[in-house]
């Protein structure tokens, strides 16, 4: 996150016009983060809740395999095991869906910021030093790669 902030500041020093795009992007990022973090946390919590019964049922089935075979009680353990797997799969799917939802929107912010920076650098080609414009473009490409991943890792943490 600090890398992203320093890149925005550096690019704003080279061209203050980028703040026209950066400020709404920051507010939109905050909105996406606030909207997506609670479902991600809830899905992870449900996943942890439903993994326990899967492990305990599987462990007791393995330990009591002789008893299950002799009394033919496979359905007694199979039905709760399949229900726990279904609940765990549903919570994992919800987490993946929310993670993708947040990721797509954060990547869209990066694309808009990158296109705006590139356009401004091309427009300022003769007015600002070439080295500063190149440096700004290089920094923006670093942020595009790391921004969405860092926000999603923060949400997982």
Q: How far apart are CA 129 and CA 13, in angstroms?
A: 12
Q: What is the mean pLDDT of each run of 10 residues along the chain (157 residues)?
A: 78 81 85 85 81 66 67 72 80 85 85 86 84 82 77 72
pLDDT given for residue 23 in this prediction:
85
Does the global pTM surpass 0.75? no
Q: What pLDDT is stored for residue 2 in this prediction?
A: 77
State the pLDDT at residue 141.
82
Question: For residue 145, what are the CA distances in angstroms to 63, 137, 139, 142?
Answer: 48, 13, 10, 6
- Count Cα atoms within 13 angstroms, Cβ side, for 12: 11
> Which two tokens mark 99?
């993670």
């Amino acid at each position: 996150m600090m890398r992203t902030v320093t890149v925005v500041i550096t690019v704003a020093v080279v061209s203050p016009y980028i703040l026209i795009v950066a400020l709404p992007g920051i507010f939109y990022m905050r909105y996406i983060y606030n909207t997506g973090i609670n479902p991600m946390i809830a899905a992870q919590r449900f996943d942890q809740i439903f993994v326990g019964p899967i492990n305990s049922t599987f462990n007791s089935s393995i330990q009591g395999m002789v008893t299950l075979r002799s009394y033919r009680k496979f359905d007694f353990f199979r039905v709760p095991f399949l229900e726990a797997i279904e609940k765990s799969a549903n919570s994992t799917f919800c987490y993946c869906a929310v993670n993708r939802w947040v990721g797509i929107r954060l990547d869209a912010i990066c694309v808009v910021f990158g296109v705006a920076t590139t356009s401004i650098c091309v427009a300022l080609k003769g007015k600002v030093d070439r080295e500063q414009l190149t440096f700004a473009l290089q920094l923006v490409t670093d942020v595009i790669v790391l921004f969405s991943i860092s926000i999603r890792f923060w949400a997982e943490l």
